[in-house]
A and B are shown apart, each in its own frame.
Chain A
Amino acid sequence: MRNTGPIFRRELAGYFNSPIAYIFITVFLGLSSWLFFKGFFVVGQASLRMFFGIIPWIFLFFVPAITMRLWAEERKVGTMELLMTLPVTDAEAVLGKYLASFAFLGLSLALSLVIPVFVAVLGDPDPGQVVGGYMGAVLMGGAFLAIGLFVSSLTENQIVAFIISVVVTFGLFILGEDFVLFGIPDWLVPVFSFAGLGGHYDSISRGVLDSRDIIYYVSIIVFFLYLNVKSIEARK
């Protein structure tokens, strides 16, 4: 995994070498705080529940936008040929890119800490909920990133990568929602509700840290990164 480092640094610098990173972060922070504070003052409670409630919906669009270029651009510009003929294993390349996107998402989330700080000044939010919420966001975001990165490796068109990622993530996200569970045979209900990306986030962000939820997200991440390595190999 020696070459994960240089690839990670190159990709992370890649975000900041163009205006993309700044636009993304601005839109993310702007949108999340606006949606949050719009309701916050109406309800008048020093609670971040609503903030963590809108995070998945912002991630649904924000995360595919972060990952869409990672492989698609390499394929389009032809640098994929350069990267894969350097002494780099497929796994190192996938991991380097994944960690770079993860760091970028982490940075965006870190900047959004302004919101809980602001709420803490005004009132007395539940610290357990804030910690849990951020942990949930990191885990769920990590899963979204793994899905988006994999989808990006399937096409050389960034827009296609974006749209397919949104559709796939959305599909996996609503899998465990009540209105889906309502329409399927009873014996499938536990399977769907466990497989859904959303349910685990809900319980973590309520402050309930269950190892099953963590294992779930980690397995989703590992599974899609594995698929990604396979799809890179498939070029041969």
Chain B
Amino acid sequence: MIEVRNLSKSFGRTVAVDDVSFEVSKGEVLGFLGPNGAGKTTTMRILTCYLAPDSGSASVAGYDVLSDSLEVRRRVGYLPENAPIYQDMDVISYLEFVAEVRGIPREDRRRRIDGMVDVCGLGKVVGRGVGELSKGYKQRVGLAQTLIHDPEFLILDEPTTGLDPSQIIEIRELIKEIGRERTVILSTHILPEVEATCSRVIIINEGSLVASGTPEELHSAAGGEDTIHVSIRGDEAAVKAALAGMRGVTGVTGAGPGPEGFTSYTLKATGGGDLGETIFRAAVENGWTLNELRREALSLEEIFLKLTTSEPGRGSAEG
């Protein structure tokens, strides 16, 4: 369990993190979302004891990051942004160094390192200098370093930056896989990543928390406005009136008659109720022919933009 309470941190006059609170429980993969400079990295650095908070508290597994810093660091595997690695070492000696500092007994080290080489797909670069690795392999070596002591908690700062699409998918699968029995915080500004890997999302903007919840909850927090496309053959005025009268519908626009006498309508609806069924019943009762009924949910992308570009106050009121 990771607990963050009223965390604040400033650098000079710049407020990096402003009164942020959240919790992550075991088995959860928390997506930490926000534009660049939102305070994601600062929060993660506080959780990994690299920085100290100005006020508020953060704890990992019940250990405070300030008073029990070493206990926290023992339990956390941290992948800093851009996965910095000692340039003058080779892959294995680097992992050996981390394993030794992590207190893995000498007789287990070899086995753990071999395991990591396997899990992270490092077979091809064993024995190569870290300095000559490609970005993708560096990221994997970083991930191997993060996982080597089998940590209960994983904190990953933009784990997929700089990777090519197939590597991104691989790393996401890996995170999903390892996240099953662990507590994971993952920061990113790539939204599909969150949808693909996270069970819960926190959106942070300019140091403050703007939204928190499952991707579905965020959807309704952002206003929950759905767009529904229907295509109906029938009297246009009557159909329009009937659609506009349905519960939750805030606007109907018709696109004029299309092929075979079907007219496309675009409905704006709030409330998230099952409008599809209502429309279907209305069509049956009135003898309309229904050709298309498609609901277009707000993507996380739109939610994100909505929450991070709204005027101050609005986002948090909704979140």
Chain B associates with chain A:
yes
The interface of chain A, by Cβ under 8 A from chain B, is: 2-3, 5-7, 10, 13-14, 17-18, 77-79, 81-82, 84-89, 235-236
Q: Are B50 and A78 in contact (CB under 8 A)?
A: no
Partner of A86, one of B84, B93, B101: B101
Cβ-defined contact, A17 with B88, below 8 A: yes
B86 CB to closest chain A CB, in angstroms? 6
A3 to B45, CA, bound (A): 21
B88 partner residues in chain A, CB cutoff 8 A: 14, 17-18
Q: Which residues of B33-74 are within 8 A (CB) of A?
A: 45, 48-52, 70, 73-74
Question: Contact: A85 with B84, CB < 8 Å?
Answer: no
Taking the closest CB of chain A, its distance from the CB of B20, in whole angstroms, is 18
Q: Which residues of chain B are near A87, meaning CB under 8 Å?
A: 70, 73-74, 101-103
Which of B80, B82, B85, B86 lies in contact with A85, CB distance below 8 A?
Answer: B80
B89 at the interface (CB under 8 A from A): yes
When C-beta atoms are compared, the residue in chain A nearest to B72 turns out to be A87
Digitize B89-111: 1 where CB-to-A-CB distance is under 8 Å, 0 elsewhere: 10001000110111100000000
Q: In the complex, are the beta carbons of B50 and A85 less than 8 A apart?
A: yes
Give chain B residues whose Cβ lies under 8 Å from the Cβ of A2.
Answer: 103
Give every chain A residue within 8 A of B32 (Cβ-Cβ). none
Q: Are A82 and B102 in contact (CB under 8 A)?
A: no
Q: Chain B residues near A13: list those with CB within 8 A.
A: 89, 93
Please determine whether B74 and A81 come into contact, CB atoms closer than 8 angstroms: no
Chain B residue numbers with a CB within 8 Å of A85 are 48-50, 73, 76, 78, 80
In contact, A82 and B80 (Cβ under 8 angstroms): yes
1/0 contact string of B137-148 vs chain A (CB within 8 Å): 000000001000
Smallest CB gap from A2: residue in B: B103
Q: Which residues of A contact B50 (CB under 8 A)?
A: 81, 84-85, 235-236
User: Are A89 and B70 within 8 A (Cβ)?
Assistant: yes
A-B contact pairs, 5 of them (CB 8 A): A6-B97, A14-B86, A18-B88, A77-B86, A88-B73
* Residue B87 interfacial (CB < 8 Å): yes
Q: In the complex, which residues of chain A have a beta carbon less than 8 angstroms from the beta carbon of B80?
A: 78, 81-82, 85
Q: How many A-B residue pairs have CB under 8 A?
A: 63
Contact of B84 with A78 in the complex, beta carbons under 8 Å: yes
Could you say which residues of chain B place their CB within 8 Å of the CB of A235?
Answer: 50-51
Main SS at interface, chain B: loop
Write the nearest CB–CB distance from A219 to chain B, whole angstroms: 29
Contacts of B102 in A (CB 8 A): 86-87
Known: A6-B100, A86-B101, A235-B51. 13 other contacts (CB 8 A): A6-B101, A10-B89, A10-B97, A13-B89, A17-B88, A17-B89, A77-B86, A77-B87, A79-B85, A85-B49, A85-B78, A88-B101, A236-B51
A86 contacts B82, C-beta separation under 8 Å: no
CA distance A3 to B73 in the complex (A): 14
In the complex, A51→B289 CA distance in Å?
104
Q: How far is the CB of A152 from the nearest CB of chain B, in Å?
A: 16
Bound complex: CA of A61 vs CA of B183, how far in Å?
A: 50
Please, which residue of chain A has its CB at the minimum distance from the CB of B98? Answer: A86
**Which chain A residues lie closer than 8 Å to B82 at the CB level?**
78
**A76 nearest in chain B by CB position:** B84
A10-B97, A14-B88 are known contacts. Are A81 and B45 too (CB-CB below 8 A)?
A: yes
Partner of A79 from the list B78, B86, B103 (CB cut-off 8 Å) is: B86
Please tell me which one of the listed residues A3, A14, A78 contacts residue B101 in the complex, with CB atoms under 8 A apart.
A3
Cα of A146 to Cα of B223 in the assembled complex, Å: 60
Closest to B93 in A: A13
Min CB–CB distance B242 → chain A (angstroms): 61
Give Cα distance in the complex from A223 to B208, angstroms. 41
A81 touches B84 (CB 8 A): yes
A181 to chain B, nearest CB (A): 43
Smallest CB-CB separation from A93: which chain B residue?
A: B101
List, in ascending order, chain B residues with CB within 8 A of A236's CB: 50-52
Residues from chain A with Cβ under 8 Å of B73 in the complex:
85-88
CA distance A235 to B50 in the complex (A): 8
CA distance A14 to B97 in the complex (A): 12
Residues of A contacting B100 in the complex (Cβ-Cβ under 8 angstroms): 5-6
A182 to chain B, nearest CB (A): 45
- Closest B residue to A92 by CB, please name it: B101
Question: Chain B 156-171 against A: per-residue CB contact (8 Å), 1 yes, 0 no?
Answer: 0000000000000000
Please name the residue on chain A nearest to B100 by beta carbon.
Answer: A6
Contacts of A18 in B (CB 8 A): 88
Q: Report chain B residues within 8 Å CB of A78.
A: 80, 82, 84
A10 and B51 in contact, given A3-B101, A81-B80 (Cβ under 8 angstroms): no
Q: Please, how many angstroms separate the alpha-carbon atoms of A18 and B87 in the complex?
A: 10
Shortest distance from the beta carbon of B53 to any chain A beta carbon, whole Å = 9
